[in-house]
Chains A and B, each alone.
Chain A
Amino acid sequence: MVKFLPLSEAVAWNLNDGDTVAFEGFTHLIPTAAAHEAIRQGFRELTLIRMTPDLIYDQMIGMGMARKIVFSYLGNPGVGLLRRARDAIENGFPRLIEVEEHSHAGMANAYEAGAAGLPCAVFRGYRGAGLAAVNPNIKTVSCPFTGEVLAAVPAIRPDVTFIHAQKADRKGNVLVEGIIGIQKEAVLAAKRAVVTVEEVVDNFDELHPNLTVLPSWTISAISVVPGGSHPSYTHGYYIRDNAAYLEWDEIAADREKFRAWMQKNVMERTADDFAARVEHLRIAA
Chain B
Amino acid sequence: MSDSKLGFTPNEMMTIAASRALKNNDVCFVGIGAPSAACNVARLTHAPDITLIYESGTIGTAPNVLPLSIGDGELCDTAVTTVSVPEMFRYWLQGGRISIGFLGAAQLDKFGNINTTVIGDYLHPKTRLPGGGGAPEIATSSKEIYITMAQSKRGMVETIDFYTSFGHGEGGDHRKRLGIETAGPTLLITDLAIWKPDPVTKEFTVVSLHPGVSRAEVQATCGWTVKFTDALEETPAPTALELKTLRDLQARTKAAHAATGKEKAA
Contacts and interface: CB of A to CB of B under 8 A. Distances in A.
Contacts of A129: 132, 136, 139, 163-166
A104 B76 contact: no
B140 A127 contact: yes
A85 B75 CA distance: 28
Given A81-B130, A123-B90, A134-B122, A148 B179 contact: yes
A111 B89 CA distance: 12
A105 B138 CA distance: 9
B140 to A, nearest CB: 5
A180 B257 CA distance: 23
B78 to A, nearest CB: 12
Nearest to A283: B73
Interface string A176-194: 0011111011000000000
A240 B180 CA distance: 38
A79 B67 CA distance: 11
A181 B131 contact: no
Interface residues of A, number: 61
B246 interface: no
B68 A104 contact: no
Contact of A181 (B84, B117, B135, B163): B84
* Central interface residue in B70, B85, B129, B262, by most chain A CB within 10 Å: B85
B125 interface: yes
Interface stretch (B41-49, B53-61, B145-153, B223-231): B53-61
Nearest to A73: B133
A179 B76 contact: yes
B24 interface: no
Nearest to B165: A129
A128 B131 contact: no
A275 to B, nearest CB: 15
Interface in B225-266: 257-258, 260-264
A122 to B, nearest CB: 11
A105 B29 CA distance: 14
B133 A27 contact: no
Contacts of B88: 108
Nearest to A129: B136
A240 B71 CA distance: 10
A185 B84 contact: yes
Contact of B86 (A52, A178, A185, A241): A185
Contact of B56 (A27, A184, A245, A281): A27
Interface in A44-58: 51-52
Contact of A182 (B84, B140, B174): B84
B69 interface: yes
B175 interface: yes
A32 interface: no
Contacts of A85: 128
A182 B128 CA distance: 25
A180 B132 contact: no
B134 interface: yes
B9 to A, nearest CB: 21
Contact of B72 (A51, A240, A246, A280): A240
Contacts of B260: 239-244, 280-281
Nearest to A112: B86
B211 interface: no
A82 B57 CA distance: 23
A27 B68 CA distance: 10
Contact of B136 (A103, A179, A240): A103
Contact of A108 (B68, B82, B86, B166): B86
A21 B123 CA distance: 24
Nearest to A85: B128
B159 interface: no
Given A127-B178, A128-B163, A130-B122, A179 B131 contact: no
Interface of B: 32-33, 55-58, 67-73, 75-76, 82-86, 88-90, 93-94, 117, 122-123, 125-137, 139-141, 162-166, 169, 174-175, 178-180, 257-258, 260-264
23 contacts: A72-B131, A72-B132, A73-B132, A75-B133, A77-B70, A79-B68, A81-B129, A90-B125, A104-B55, A104-B85, A105-B90, A108-B86, A123-B89, A123-B90, A125-B94, A125-B140, A127-B179, A128-B140, A128-B180, A129-B166, A179-B56, A179-B76, A182-B86
Given A77-B68, A127-B178, A130-B117, 10 more contacts: A28-B56, A52-B133, A73-B132, A103-B134, A104-B85, A124-B94, A179-B56, A179-B71, A182-B86, A185-B84
- Which 6 residue pairs spanning A and B have beta carbons closest together? A27-B71, A128-B166, A243-B261, A75-B130, A77-B69, A78-B68
